[in-house]
Structure 1
Amino acid sequence: RSTPCRGEPVVDINRRFGVGPADRVLAVSALSFDLSVYDIFGVLAAGGCVVFPSPSRVQDPVHWSELVERHGVTLWNSVPALLQAWVESRGRAAVFAGSTLRVALLSGDWIPVTLPDAVRAQHPGLEVVSLGGATEASIWSVCYPIGGVPADWTRIPYGKPLTNQTLHVYDAMMRPCPVWTTGEIYIGGAGVARGYWADEERTAERFVVHPVTGERLYRTG
């Protein structure tokens, strides 16, 4: 699906984590995947650099380690599975000597509860962040900085809305759902796209206006 995205969430992430000219991100997310929007437009807009793996080794965690060390990569942005593959390729007890990595942004799937502490063991001081959202809301709408993970946790919290964004859980009549009941997630605020490119019918189905509040929302489904 083609969705013209807005820039506000990208700017918000840069502000939250102090992304600037000294930063470098390793582009492990495919350019056809929406996470790459941040690599290109977020980091470059802040004056940083994007480090691309060799096309023949783009899925090689050993190559990723070489690039992180060679170029002083400071930012990681991927689905959790890619970070997990990198951690496991080095051995869980292997500290990355002289690591420059300072922030890891994880989104697009469940985050294993053991992953944050495992990657921090290799990169002391690393800030691990859970992000979530939809392409139709400019990639990310929620954020949860992951501190120490208690032993009894079974999952990482989804997070709270980013700046100038809203999340709602509504029933079929678009009424707020009580806690512990099932509903549908709607995203509102600064990240909501204008719609799908050249698809007015689908745009009308998924981008709606709340009948009471008048807020324009993306219906996640």
Structure 2
Amino acid sequence: STGEPKAVAITHEAALNTVADVNSRWRVGPGDRVLAVSALDFDLSVYDIFGLLGAGGALVLPADADRRDPAAWLDLAAEHPVTLWNSAPVLLDMLLTAAEQPDAPDKGISGLRAVLVSGDWVGLDLPGRLRDRVPGCRFTALGGATEASIWSNACEVEQVPAHWTSIPYGLPLTNQRYRVVDDFGQDCPDLAPGELWIGGAGVAAGYHGDPERT
């Protein structure tokens, strides 16, 4: 969120907890490919690398010159049948905008079966636009702090209800826990505002080299 790396110390066990949940939830396997558009210093890349390779899948890596070129992403997705997309919402918006152009490749993103977005506010238009281009593709918004091993919650969206003003935070992933507490650390009643506490297997060991902040 600040553009500055936080040096969050995540244990292998904590990262594996997240990766295992996501791979099980979307049945990721040897036939899957992800278009790796996230920078290596952004925590989403942890899933791209260890989630896909750990399941026997593959990463499709854009050339440096194509990292912000959605037309090139479409070509890569068609050439190396990409099945998974994992990015911040703005990059999915760029991809869909390119796919909506009349001269977009026929195949393009037609092979996508699951889209994961996180790291920022998720536009209400994204699930519908994805469904228009790739019927049957699952759309999921994930959330949680970097300090909780990439993600700690997931909200799969099919239709966006008319009364929604945003895509809501989802339910905790496996072995993760959420509490909404008041100023005294006591659980808030339903619908009462409070502070979100994250616990469980994904919580980081601390900030590397910063014991005071830890």
Q: TM-score, normalised to structure 1's length? A: 0.87
Which of 57, 69, 85 is residue 94 of structure 2 equivalent to?
A: 85
Which of 175, 187, 201 is residue 186 of structure 2 equivalent to?
A: 175
2: distance between equivalents of 1:74 and 1:110? 23
Which of 4, 10, 16 is residue 9 of structure 2 equivalent to?
A: 4
Q: SS where residue 85 of structure 2 aligns?
A: strand
Instruction: Check the 8 A contact 1:76/1:101 in 2, yes or no.
Output: yes
Instruction: Check the 8 A contact 1:132/1:143 in 2, yes or no.
Output: yes
1: distance between equivalents of 2:106 and 2:26? 22
Any gaps of 5 or more consecutive residues in structure 2? Answer: 1-5
1: distance between equivalents of 2:165 and 2:107? 31
Instruction: Check the 8 A contact 2:78/2:105 in 1, yes or no.
Output: no
Q: SS where residue 193 of structure 1 aligns?
A: coil
Question: Which residue number in structure 1 is paired with residue 72 of structure 2?
Answer: 63
Question: Which residue number in structure 2 is paired with residue 18 of structure 1?
Answer: 27
1:127-169 per-residue CA deviation (whole Å, 9 max, x = no partner) reads 0001001111101011111111123322112110111110111
Displacement after TM superposition at 1:97 (Å): 3.7
Question: Which residue number in structure 1 is paired with residue 41 of structure 2?
Answer: 32
Please tell me the residue identity of whatever aligns with 1:166. Answer: R
Please tell me the residue identity of whatever aligns with 1:3. Answer: V
2: distance between equivalents of 1:192 and 1:96? 43
Question: Which residue number in structure 1 is paired with residue 201 of structure 2?
Answer: 190
Aligned length: 203
Runs (4 or more) in structure 1 with deviation over 2 Å come to 92-98, 150-153, 178-182
Question: Which residue number in structure 1 is paired with residue 135 of structure 2?
Answer: 124
Q: Go from structure 1 to structure 2 and tell me whether the alpha carbon gap of 1:95 and 1:51 turns closer, same or farther (over 3 Å shift).
A: closer
1: distance between equivalents of 2:33 and 2:81? 7
Q: Go from structure 1 to structure 2 and tell me whether the alpha carbon gap of 1:12 and 1:45 turns closer, same or farther (over 3 Å shift).
A: same
Note if 1:149 corresponds to 2:129. no
1:46-99 per-residue CA deviation (whole Å, 9 max, x = no partner) reads 111011111111100000000100000010000111101111122279795482
Q: Go from structure 1 to structure 2 and tell me whether the alpha carbon gap of 1:96 and 1:184 turns closer, same or farther (over 3 Å shift).
A: farther
Instruction: Check the 8 A contact 2:36/2:48 in 1, yes or no.
Output: yes
Note if 1:111 corresponds to 2:91. no
Q: TM-score, normalised to structure 2's length? A: 0.90
**Cα RMSD (Å):** 1.7
Please tell me the residue identity of whatever aligns with 2:87. Answer: S
Any gaps of 5 or more consecutive residues in structure 1? Answer: 204-221
1: distance between equivalents of 2:105 and 2:128? 12
Instruction: Check the 8 A contact 1:95/1:121 in 2, yes or no.
Output: no
Which of structures 1 and 2 has the larger relative contact order (alpha carbons within 8 angstroms, sep 6+)?
A: 2
